[in-house]
Amino acid sequence: MEVGIFVSGTYLKNEDFRNAVYEVFRSKPVRLITMEDFPSSEKASPQLCRERLEMASYYILIVNNRYGWIPPGYDKAITELEYEWAIELKMPMKIYIYKPGNDALLTGIADKERLDAFKKRLRENHSPRDFGNADELKYFVLSDFGDWQWTNGYLQDTSAGTNITGLNIRNLKSTNQVSYVNIDIDYHREQLGEVYEEQLNRLINPLF
**If pLDDT is split at 50, 70 and 90, which confidence band does 173 have?**
very low
Q: Mean of the pLDDT values across residues 149-163?
A: 57
pLDDT at 45: 84
Q: What is the mean pLDDT of residues 141-158?
A: 78
Does residue 116 have a pLDDT over 70? yes
Class for the domain spanning 3-135:
alpha beta
- If pLDDT is split at 50, 70 and 90, which confidence band does 1 have? low
Q: pTM here?
A: 0.73
For range 162-184, the mean pLDDT: 40
User: Which pLDDT tens digit goes with each residue over 42-98?
Assistant: 667 889 899 999 999 999 999 999 999 999 999 999 999 999 999 999 999 999 999
Per-residue DSSP letters for the chain? -PEEEEEES-STTTHHHHHHHHHHHTTSSEEEE-GGGPPP-SS-HHHHHHHHHHT-SEEEEEE-S------TT-SS-HHHHHHHHHHHTT--EEEEEE--S-GGGG-S-TTHHHHHHHHHHHHHHS-PEEESSHHHHHHHHHHHHHHHHHHTTSS--GGGT---TT--GGGGGGSS-GGGHHHHHHHHHHHHTTTTHHHHHHHHGGG-
Q: Where are the domains of the chain?
A: 3-135, 156-207
